[in-house]
A and B are shown apart, each in its own frame.
Chain A
Amino acid sequence: MAEASSITTPAELDAAYDLAIVGAGPAGMAAAKEAAGHGLSVLVLDENAGPGGQIYRAITRSPAPGLAALGADYWKGAPLAADFLAAPVHYAAGTTVWSLAIAAEGSGHEIGVSIAGAARMVAAREVILATGALERPFPVPGWTLPGVMTAGGAQTMLKASGLVPDGRVVLAGSGPLLYLLAAQFVAAGANISALLDTTPSANWGRALPHLPAFLASPYLRKGLALLWKTRRSLRVMRGVSAISAEGDGKLASVRFSKGGAAETLPCDLLLLHQGVVPNINLSNAAGCAQDWDETQLCFTPRLDAWFESSVPGVAIAGDGAGIAGAESAALRGTLAAIGAAFRLGHLDAVERDSRAAPVRAELARMGRGRAFLDHFYQPAKPLRIPPQDDTIVCRCEEVTAGMIRAAVAHGVTGPNQMKSFLRCGMGPCQGRQCGLTVTEMIAEARGLPPTEIGALRLRPPVKPITLSELASLPKTEAATRAVVR
């Protein structure tokens, strides 16, 4: 059987590929397998050490193979990763993608990558971005203190290193994933002091019309089993409305309101989570159009039926195209690859449509019940738009909510102008931790919908690279002569 070739240095890259896929999570892995099956030359670029993305992180090199605490849904990633590693593709792990642009010469795209400390430009006729999701910002007082982490971050430690939260642990926030993580930590032996559920009770009303579809969906059984397990095994406090992390130089306690009364719990580790949102940095920087999603409260790229974006030849699959979960991500990756194979002439329209039909049917089935979850778990407004002026919004540049509101009062109209005034979104994370908050804050202060405010305009490099990496780009003799005296 053929198998994926590992790329560990820039010299091993071909100059050009039919298809480049960014991300080796479920969408990227499924897309690679499908595209290779249609005879495309495929390059998969991923910044992690192994395949799986976040959801199936460390699936091929688990420190505790078969660990029951992670649940059967995690181990479903193993055959997907095995199929991917058996496909005849080039796979560059531990690789940073820092730019994506239409090629200066000829057709197709040019991708800036950095492998093992050296940069290269790679050409690809088609591109699929499978950059997945990240946890929604949780801007509350003290969220920058050491000892405060995302719940997903702690799950990464469990999957990749077999490390379990220890000491007095508090989980806080909302969303189905929060309960899954709580159940995994408890099953792995963690001592969770409390789970502070911040789901607003008013969400019931909004979610109710979507209940019938949810009741008929695969989510229901999983959800009920989880709720039963977590409620039985740990202290769940509902109706929590405000959260702050407190401590001098490091976390010492978490303070919150419940039923109008303030409470404080001492804790060593506070794990925050209020849902996930698409990671759109690369698609935004590549110029792909995006729209505000009123239900998921985030920007999602504008896509056609084959997940092709507004930039021809650039498709976006998986949670980076809108949150739908791991199994849907793999299906969307498959469909995006079928679309790319068609555009490259490897399939005709009839073959494309018949190949896609069963995948689309399965995707529709997986999507049932999602609307209920999206409405029910919409995070509370005061946890998205910090009411206290001294809460940090931009972690990198330490820009507070009060500074942003003051800038809007001075006439700043959008996030890009905000950058010029306050530098928020200009630190190393490039707005990943503040972009949504800034858009929603400006929208609220100006009394306009977020769609009219827009997102930060991101530019390459979308991840920092060193000057020596840039200098390692191959240069023509003429280019060198032009600057040498």
Chain B
Amino acid sequence: MFRRLPEARGEPLNFTLDGKPFSARSGDSVAAALLAAGIETCRATPVSGAPRGPYCMMGVCFECLVTIDGVGNRQGCLIPLSEGMRIETQQGARAIAQEVA
């Protein structure tokens, strides 16, 4: 979907998505890091389970919601990627049992 300009600068940063290792660059938002890694779907909706991915990249559509370091519903496009981030996709509505456990 996207490729990096050869002249683009930035330090490599490692992160995991659902436990799998990936890398992107400093300066990337979490949503940009996912798209740069070829990941276009980051969640399934709570209403119907339909797949969604980053859409506006500026904080207004809330499609890029992901869990970051254990905190859910973060706007991936507004959060700068940092080294070692644990990113998780969100699948459907959250179950109460998971919260208690």
Contact = CB atoms under 8 A, between A and B. Distances in A.
A134 B58 contact: yes
A381 interface: no
A162 B4 contact: yes
A464 to B, nearest CB: 7
Contact of A147 (B1, B7, B58, B78): B1
Interface residues of B, number: 41
A161 B8 contact: yes
A157 interface: yes
A245 to B, nearest CB: 12
A398 to B, nearest CB: 4
Nearest to A396: B62
Given A64-B8, A167-B1, A160 B28 contact: yes
Interface stretch (A148-156, A175-183, A353-361): A148-156
B96 to A, nearest CB: 15
Q: Say whether chain A's binding surface is mostly helix, strand, loop, or mixed.
A: loop
A129 interface: no
A426 B101 CA distance: 29
B93 interface: no
Contacts of B61: 395, 429, 432-433
B8 A162 contact: yes
Given A54-B58, A152-B58, A157 B63 contact: no
Nearest to A61: B27
B94 interface: no
Contacts, number: 137
Given A146-B52, A250-B51, A464-B73, A58 B27 contact: yes
Interface in A277-319: 279
A119 B77 CA distance: 21
Interface residues of A, number: 50
B73 A428 contact: yes
Contacts of B36: 161, 163
A182 B28 CA distance: 22
A48 interface: yes
Given A48-B78, A395-B61, A161 B32 contact: yes
A448 interface: no
Contacts of B62: 396, 427-429
Interface string B56-81: 11111111010000010100011010
A196 interface: no
A165 B2 contact: yes
A161 B1 contact: no
B56 A153 contact: yes
Nearest to B42: A146
Contact of A268 (B1, B9, B27, B50): B1
B57 A150 contact: yes
B60 to A, nearest CB: 5
B5 A164 contact: yes
B65 to A, nearest CB: 7
A425 to B, nearest CB: 12
A26 to B, nearest CB: 15
A396 B32 CA distance: 21
Interface of A: 47-49, 54, 58, 61, 63-64, 67, 94, 134-135, 144-150, 152-154, 156-157, 160-167, 188-189, 249-250, 268-269, 279, 395-398, 427-429, 432-433, 464, 466
Given A61-B27, A147-B53, A157-B35, 6 more contacts: A48-B59, A149-B53, A149-B54, A154-B2, A161-B28, A398-B48
State the 6 A-B residue pairs at the shortest beta-carbon distance, nearest first. Answer: A162-B8, A146-B53, A153-B57, A428-B62, A162-B5, A156-B57
